[in-house]
Structure 1
Amino acid sequence: MNHEISIVVNGEHRTTLVDSRRLLVHHLREDLELTGTHVGCDSSTCGACTVLVDDRPTKSCTVLAASVDGSRVLTVEGLADPGGHSPVQRGFRARHGLQCGFCTSGMLVAATALLADQPDPDDRAIREGLEGNICRCTGYQTIVESVRWAAEHGGAGNAATAHIAAAREPS
């Protein structure tokens, strides 16, 4: 059975028809061609598919696309500020918070949500904020350093902050 859904993805209103069994991650990647969100485990274990749904980090591999009807969705493609990369993206580059890159999109989104809620987290808060996002390459220290760098250089960033603020406005 198909459902028409209306969502705002990365600030753009999208109305699409989705099968009732279609997962959000597949809708984003295949229907909307936003391939930055990765499919890692299909069981919500790794966090590579993390997106923000109404400002909450959400593992899109376990959410039906039809269930986000009326929501705002932010993917890794929506993190960049108008002038370039967000502070979180710049932090991952500056502090080498990635290696193979597979988990990076989910880490970036989760870190953005963390910094929107906690602009100056300590290392423990960063580790807790990224809990549920697995990196098999880095050992996490450079990821923590990347998020700390971002906190010191602009936090969540303008695009993400605007998205999160809009999601929090009463309907």
Structure 2
Amino acid sequence: MMQSTIRLTVNGRIHEVGAAPDTALLYVLRNDLELNGPKYGCGLGECGACAVLIDGVAARSCVIPIEGCVGRDIVTLEGLGSRDRPDPVQQAFIAEQAAQCGYCLNGMIISTKALLNRTPDPSEAEVTEALRYHLCRCGAHIEIMRAAMRAAGHVTEAAD
């Protein structure tokens, strides 16, 4: 497909990128905008490493063409908070040390944020369902669940 100029709103800023309309959003985010929160995992929308928020809803950026993102609000991990002022979800993952290799964390944090956007006080079952299709090969599931529950306000003390 021919390259054209596509206008995207990412992390509150408008960007014009030259790419074919069917280019996966993930490639534009990482290669053109240098946003490395979303990761390339499977390229099939199965693992969740590439998740971003589109209009507040978690979406797999590796399978979404950029032409479908025009006029929509895209937020990546970098757009949630900063090193000095992390988003409450990011802070919860830090507090619970919910990472080993960290590759899956982008998707876990983004999906937790999306869940809290639509359900501010989720149950453990709702958190489990929201994270169910994210793959973590390191086995940090207990810490990730605890971090998500902390972000929801259900955990106040850090794990030992």
TM score, norm. by length of structure 1:
0.83
Identify the residue that residue 125 of structure 1 maps to in structure 2: 126
Pair 1:147 & 2:115 matched? no
The answer (yes or no) to whether the contact 2:98–2:143 under 8 Å persists in 1 is yes
Distance across 2 between alignment mates of 1:35 and 1:139: 21
Identify the residue that residue 137 of structure 1 maps to in structure 2: 138
Deviations 1:34-87 (A, max 9, x none): 111100001111000000112211100111112211111000000106961111
Identify the residue that residue 111 of structure 2 maps to in structure 1: 110
Q: Which moved more, 1:7-16 or 1:24-33?
A: 7-16
Distance across 1 between alignment mates of 2:139 and 2:147: 12
TM score, norm. by length of structure 2:
0.89
Change (3 A) 1:33 1:81: closer
Distance across 1 between alignment mates of 2:45 and 2:149: 26
Runs of at least 5 residues in structure 1 that lack an aligned partner in the other structure = 154-171
SS of 1:5's partner is strand
Q: Which runs of 4+ in 1 moved over 3 A?
A: none
Pair 1:101 & 2:102 matched? yes
Runs of at least 5 residues in structure 2 that lack an aligned partner in the other structure = 155-160
Cα RMSD of the aligned pairs, angstroms, is: 1.7
Change (3 A) 1:33 1:82: closer
Name the % identity.
36
Pair 1:8 & 2:9 matched? yes
